């Protein structure tokens, strides 16, 4: 099977998987208690929606009621609701948030929640992958030494500690005691009135980013280190590594040009899934540091029973993970020419 046929097959599988995700997402929220009542109450509340056209638009969007008779909702059959929901998911019309009354995508993009989560999770994910991979290569080359044992133990400790515990410790030490960094938030409260010059904005944003990014980096890098170490130990035991050493190839070239390249396939999958899950946010860390991102938004939506927000984020995160898997499959053939497209 050639590359073109393989791509077509993977695209078909991806489409089927997306359809499955849409169906599963619908079933989950249909079985969740309180959804229909919450939406009907929102639509029929005159304090929220006094415009008949707006009420009619919401009815069509959510697909729960065929009409209102004397203020009473006439239920829509489930097959009609699924058809409406299916079209809405494909067109990214997620409805209005129960908290703000604004479209979900509007709240996600214009309020900076999407940007804040991408900055925080993107920074932490990139740093943890870089640090974990480099340290994993080094500890694998010194297997059994004190250096190896020390870093493996450290990674296990940071990987097992809850993020809320590390976050609170960092706030106590670096924010409360040393006062080096702010305890939370994305920007200072006074920025709502006036903004400082751009260089000052960048420095202050980095100060606010440092503690939550440090927390997530310490939590994530341990898994990357252990995975890299495991794949590198296996690669370093191969015959071609022994041959390279016999030819006098430098240790650096053996580690990074020979062993790491052949051990990189599991690392590519891990990296793809890590970046694919960025939009899921970091609920606990964002809550501890009051970081106005998607993770904190999900937490607040649970308290509000804001089903449109939760449904939208779950769906978008699933799409990102599916896309990341698809890209990692394509990269396999680029990194390892031995792989055949079948």
CATH number of 118's domain: 1.10.3720.10
Burial class (CB in 10 A: 0-12, 13-18, 19+), 314: middle
Per-residue confidence (pLDDT) for residue 252, from 0 to 100 = 81
169 near 289, Cβ under 8 Å?
A: no
At 18-51, the pLDDT tens digits run 999 999 988 887 777 665 555 655 555 554 555 6
For residues 239 and 336, give the distance between their C-alpha atoms in angstroms, rounded to a whole number. 18
231 near 268, Cβ under 8 Å?
A: no
- Which of these, 1, 11, 34, lies nearest to 302 by C-alpha position? 34
99 near 308, Cβ under 8 Å?
A: no
Residue that is written with structure tokens 């960094």 in the block: 181
Task: Tell me, yes or no, whether 240 and 205 share the same domain.
Answer: yes
Point out the domain boundary residue: 276, 292, 308.
Answer: 292
> Residue 255: pLDDT above 70?
yes
Point out the domain boundary residue: 255, 277, 292.
Answer: 292
In degrees, to the nearest 5, what angle opens at C-alpha 122 toward C-alphas 119 and 123?
A: 80
Task: Tell me, yes or no, whether 188 and 286 share the same domain.
Answer: yes
Is there a domain that residue 308 lies in?
Answer: no
Per-residue confidence (pLDDT) for residue 174, from 0 to 100 = 92
At 133-186, the pLDDT tens digits run 999 888 888 888 888 889 999 989 988 888 889 999 999 999 889 889 988 888
**In sequence order, what are the residues at sequence separation of 6 or more whose Cβ sits closer than 8 angstroms to the Cβ of residue 168?**
288
Residue that is written with structure tokens 């415009």 in the block: 51
> Residue 287: pLDDT above 60?
yes
Per-residue confidence (pLDDT) for residue 211, from 0 to 100 = 92
Per-residue confidence (pLDDT) for residue 324, from 0 to 100 = 83
Task: Tell me, yes or no, whether 61 and 120 share the same domain.
Answer: no
Quote the domain boundaries for residue 225: 113-292
In degrees, to the nearest 5, what angle opens at C-alpha 40 toward C-alphas 302 and 79?
A: 95
Mean pLDDT of the chain: 81
Flag the least confident range among 59-73, 193-207, 266-280: 59-73
Q: What DSSP line would sit under 111-153, residue for residue?
A: TSHHHHHHHHHHHHHHHHHHHHHHHHHHHHHTTTSHHHHHHHH
Question: What domain count does the chain have?
Answer: 2
Flag the least confident range among 24-38, 41-55, 201-215, 295-309: 41-55
pLDDT mean over 80-105: 83
pLDDT mean over 93-102: 80
Is there a domain that residue 73 lies in?
Answer: yes
Task: Tell me, yes or no, whether 168 and 261 share the same domain.
Answer: yes
Task: Tell me, yes or no, whether 11 and 136 share the same domain.
Answer: no
Per-residue confidence (pLDDT) for residue 50, from 0 to 100 = 53
Helix axes 113-141, 198-236, angle to 10 degrees: 40
> Residue 83: pLDDT above 80?
yes
Task: Tell me, yes or no, whether 143 and 281 share the same domain.
Answer: yes
**In sequence order, what are the residues at sequence separation of 6 or more whose Cβ sits closer than 8 angstroms to the Cβ of residue 297?**
107, 108, 113, 281, 309, 313
User: In a 3-state reduction of DSSP, which class is residue 59?
Assistant: helix
Per-residue confidence (pLDDT) for residue 63, from 0 to 100 = 64
Could you tell me which residue, 130 or 254, shows the higher pLDDT? 130
Residue 332: C-alpha distances to residues 1, 207, 226, 263, 268 (Å): 15, 38, 21, 11, 8
pLDDT mean over 238-256: 81
pLDDT mean over 103-119: 87
For residues 201 and 172, give the distance between their C-alpha atoms in angstroms, rounded to a whole number. 24
316 near 281, Cβ under 8 Å?
A: no
Task: Tell me, yes or no, whether 220 and 159 share the same domain.
Answer: yes
Helix axes 307-335, 3-31, angle to 10 degrees: 160
Whole-structure pTM value: 0.80
For residues 282 and 180, give the distance between their C-alpha atoms in angstroms, rounded to a whole number. 23
Task: Tell me, yes or no, whether 211 and 284 share the same domain.
Answer: yes
pLDDT band at residue 317, thresholds of 50, 70 and 90? confident
Task: Tell me, yes or no, whether 18 and 59 share the same domain.
Answer: yes
Task: Tell me, yes or no, whether 121 and 262 share the same domain.
Answer: yes
Task: Tell me, yes or no, whether 79 and 206 share the same domain.
Answer: no
188 near 254, Cβ under 8 Å?
A: no
pLDDT mean over 218-246: 85
Per-residue confidence (pLDDT) for residue 215, from 0 to 100 = 92
297 near 281, Cβ under 8 Å?
A: yes
Task: Tell me, yes or no, whether 163 and 251 share the same domain.
Answer: yes
Is there a domain that residue 341 lies in?
Answer: no
Q: Give, as one character, the DSSP assignment of residue 102.
A: S
| Identity of the highest mean pLDDT range in 3-17, 214-228, 301-315 | 214-228
Helices and strands, number each (H, E), in the chain: 16, 2
Per-residue confidence (pLDDT) for residue 1, from 0 to 100 = 57
**In sequence order, what are the residues at sequence separation of 6 or more whose Cβ sits closer than 8 angstroms to the Cβ of residue 272?**
324, 325, 327, 328, 331
């Amino acid at each position: 099977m050639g590359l073109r046929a393989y791509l077509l097959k993977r695209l078909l599988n991806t489409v089927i998987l997306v359809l499955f995700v849409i169906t599963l997402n619908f079933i989950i929220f249909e079985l969740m208690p309180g959804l229909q009542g919450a939406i009907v109450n929102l639509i029929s509340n005159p304090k929220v929606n006094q415009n008949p056209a707006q009420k009619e638009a919401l009815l069509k969007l959510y697909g729960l009621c065929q009409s209102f008779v004397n203020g009473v909702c006439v239920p829509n059959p489930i097959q009609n609701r699924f058809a409406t929901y299916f079209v809405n998911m494909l067109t990214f019309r997620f409805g209005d948030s129960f908290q703000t009354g604004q479209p979900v995508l509007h709240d996600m993009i214009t309020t900076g929640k999407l940007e804040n989560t991408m900055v925080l999770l993107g920074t932490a994910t990139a740093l943890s992958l870089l640090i974990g991979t480099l340290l994993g290569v080094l500890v694998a080359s010194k297997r059994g030494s004190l250096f190896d044992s020390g870093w493996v133990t450290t990674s296990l400790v940071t990987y097992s500690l809850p993020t809320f515990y590390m976050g609170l410790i960092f706030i106590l030490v670096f924010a409360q005691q040393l006062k080096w960094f702010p305890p939370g938030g994305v920007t200072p409260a006074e920025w709502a009135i006036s903004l400082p010059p751009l260089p000052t904005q960048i420095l202050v944003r980095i100060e606010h980013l440092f503690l939550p990014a440090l927390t997530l980096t310490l939590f994530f890098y341990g898994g990357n280190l252990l995975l890299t170490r495991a794949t590198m130990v296996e690669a370093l035991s191969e015959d071609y590594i022994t041959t390279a050493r016999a030819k006098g190839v430098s240790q650096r070239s053996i580690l990074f040009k020979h062993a790491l390249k052949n051990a990189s396939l599991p690392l590519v999958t891990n990296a793809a899934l890590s970046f694919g899950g960025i939009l899921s946010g970091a609920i606990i860390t964002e809550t501890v540091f009051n970081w106005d991102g998607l993770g904190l938004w999900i937490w607040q939506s649970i308290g509000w029973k804001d089903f449109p927000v939760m449904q939208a984020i779950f769906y978008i995160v699933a799409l990102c993970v599916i896309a990341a898997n698809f890209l990692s499959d394509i990269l396999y053939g680029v990194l390892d020419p031995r792989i055949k497209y079948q």
